[in-house]
Amino acid sequence: MLELLVCALFTIVPDYLYRRYGQGKRLGKEITFYSVWFELRWGIVTCVMLTVGLITVIFYNHPSTNSATVFFRSVPIVPEINGRVAQVHVGYSAKVEKGAPIFTLDSKSQEAAVEAARRKIAEVEATLVVAKADILAFDGKIQEARSALQQALDELQTKRELRQRNENVVATREIERLENIVAGREAAAASATASQAAAQTKIATLLPAERASAEAALAQAEVELGKTVVRAGFTGHVEQFTLRAGDIVNPFMRPAGTIIPAEAGRVGLQAGFGQIEAQVIKVGMVAEATCISKPWTVIPMVVTGVQDFIAAGQLRSGEQLIDAQQVVRPGTILAYLEPLHPGGMDGVTPGSSCIANAYTSNHDVIVAKDTGTFRRIILHAVDAVGLVHALLLRIQAQVLPIKTLVLSGH
């Protein structure tokens, strides 16, 4: 309508003024309802053509969308293990700090595993004490075996010397018996020494390894015990949290609730522009938005990102082929908008629906030395008509509360 009125000022109005004052025709006499088309046909046709052209230039170079939303991230509250809820630490809706407990699962089996791991460490420590005592015992056995061996060697040496002096004094069988005794006591001394070495190896290698394994098992059991307490991974709000003691939670089938990060929806908004604007929407474009949750306010913004893909074209592998006719609605170009000034999103409720405009700026091309005069005039005109779109957005910002509260029929 605004574009039509603007175009009428340069077409229909001058034509009417000429007919009225130049030709002396009077409204309601010579200029009637039936003669308007014949008298003003050139002005009407020109006005319509200019209006269509102006609307095309404005909407293409300065795109607008009603599909702008302050999206925010919501994170499901999911435990790492299955279990029955033993205690709930927050209510239906509450603010939680990072690391604060949300709910606790029954932990009897995990506590038993922790206690068993601690008992295993105590058992290994007791085994270490016993092994040290065994080393002392083996020292005594080695000393005893060496003394008995030395005694047998002395007795054998004595018998051999007597036999060398007189063969009839000591029998050959006695010498053989003493030699067997020496061999047996040597084996006993070697066995005691090997047993002591085995005990020392056990203390130096086996028992430390068993203790490390027991400590690892304790750490694992404590980790499993820690999983029974579900904590907030970040500061945020727990919303619609209906979990209660006695409920069963499953990380694959039933989340416990939803937590919304504190900064979610406070940075900017996402706007879906028509596919025809793919060549126009660029990072760095100045934009404006007005949101239902913050009426009568126009927020200066800037385009900080443009999604390279259109969501309507995505597909996943399956057993059926995709038919293009299944895509009923054409997708949009998703652009990320952030406020130009700090605190620009203050007062805008996350999830709010908004109206957004983006404005093309050809300043760099206009001031370039190789740009022709005619092109500069055209680009100036393109940038200038953005004022019409900005005016329309402000009119929408003023009318939006009335449209929502009165004209919507609620």
Three-state SS for 46-61 is HHHHHHHHHHHHHHHH
pLDDT at residue 314 in the model? 79
What is the arithmetic mean of pLDDT over 208-217? 84
Average pLDDT over residues 230-238: 87
Is there a common fold for 62-72+265-313+328-410 and 75-106+228-261? no
Q: Hey, what CATH class is 75-106+228-261 in?
A: mainly beta
Cα–Cα dist 81/224, whole Å: 9
pLDDT higher than 70, residue 36: no
User: Do 337 and 315 form a contact (C-beta atoms < 8 A)?
Assistant: no
Name every residue whose Cβ is closer than 8 Å to that of residue 330 and which is 6 or more positions away in sequence.
274, 275, 312
In order, the DSSP letters of 341-361 are: STTTTTTPPTT-EEEEEEE--
**Domain edges within the chain:** 1-61, 62-72+265-313+328-410, 75-106+228-261, 108-226
From CA 310, how far away is CA 354, in angstroms rounded?
A: 20
Q: Which among 352, 269, 272 is positioned nearest to 65, based on CA atoms?
A: 272
d(CA 101, CA 99): 6
Question: In this structure, are residues 111 and 130 in contact, taking their beta carbons and an 8 Å threshold?
Answer: no
**Per-residue confidence band for 303, with pLDDT thresholds at 50, 70 and 90:** very high
352/254: higher pLDDT:
352
Per-residue pLDDT at 164 exceeds 90: no
Assess contact for 333 and 274: CB atoms under 8 A: yes
Q: What is the dihedral of CA 107, 111, 113, 119, to 10 degrees?
A: 180
Q: Quick one: fold of 62-72+265-313+328-410?
A: Elongation Factor Tu (Ef-tu); domain 3 (2.40.30)
Task: Indicate the pTM of the whole model.
Answer: 0.68
Mean pLDDT of 239-267: 82
